[in-house]
Amino acid sequence: MTYTVLVCDDDKLIVNSIVLHLQKEGYRTLKAYNGVEALEAIEKQEVHLILMDIMMPQLDGLSATLKIRQEKNIPIIILSAKSEDTDKIAGLNLGADDYITKPFNTFELLARVRSQLRRYTKLGAMQQTPQLLMTGGLCMDTGANTVYVDGELVRLTPTEYKILQYLMINMGQVLSMHQIYENVWHDTPFAPENTVAVHIRRLREKIEINPKEPKYIKVVWGSGYLVEKINL
């Protein structure tokens, strides 16, 4: 299967450079130069991953990411010219799956693309026989790749789904941030605290009645997170 990657940046030189490297790796590519063009592209064609710049005219990358996440679960990697954690966290909060700071190493960018597509593919190619992971009113069907809370379907990003799946498979076990990062991002963790914490917060906002007093995803201070086993 040939994957399609949408590269969105207002700097045409950057877009052309990234596209060239992606095409050498065998990917099909699409180009966009602002958030509006990115939204139009994913409506017209099937896209498997998006590389999204933040600072762009007409519609910036963060706003475009928010709009995409309202309807689609395409993996999104934020391309940020800024190194401040606030920009990275803002992208993750709005539903991005990963980020990379400009100027970036081409090999690192390609590795992150492969990692996101690998996880995206695994979510789409899971066993067809439904396997239910349940605790209280939280139910994950790994056959259909769906999550329900009290009977209501919850829309998760691929990264959020993978984190929740890892936690639920290891239900009752405390998992460190390093363990979560290694098993979800399939990469050696380097200061993963912000990345994991942001995704956990977004997960809680979607599956918990009161995210500040979570019922399912618990933090064990100094150790990590766990999903508690709750019998109905």
pLDDT greater than 80 at residue 128? no
Helix (H, G, I), strand (E, B) or coil at 190: coil
Minimum mean pLDDT among 64-78, 109-123, 146-160: which range? 109-123
Cβ-based neighbours of 43, under 8 Å, separated by 6 or more = none
The predicted structure's pLDDT at residue 141: 85
Instruction: Copy the structure tokens of residue 16.
Output: 């052309």
Minimum mean pLDDT among 22-26, 44-48, 117-121, 150-154: which range? 117-121
Q: Report, in angstroms and rounded to the nearest whole number, the Rg of the chain calculated over CA atoms.
A: 18
Domain boundaries, the chain: 4-124, 132-227
pLDDT digits (tens, 9 = 90+) for 133-172: 889 899 998 877 889 998 889 999 989 999 999 999 999 9
CA 157 distance to own-chain centroid: 5
132-227 to CATH, choices 1.10.3720.10, 3.30.70.1230, 2.40.30.10, 1.10.10.10: 1.10.10.10
Cβ-based neighbours of 41, under 8 Å, separated by 6 or more = 6, 30, 32, 47
Minimum mean pLDDT among 19-28, 83-92, 142-151, 167-176: which range? 83-92
Q: State in words which class domain 4-124 has.
A: alpha beta
Among 78, 108, 110, which residue's Cα sits nearest to residue 195?
78
Helix (H, G, I), strand (E, B) or coil at 29: strand
Percent of the residues in the chain that have a pLDDT greater than 90, as a whole number:
55
Instruction: Copy the structure tokens of residue 167.
Output: 């936690």
User: For 27-42, what is the mean pLDDT?
Assistant: 97
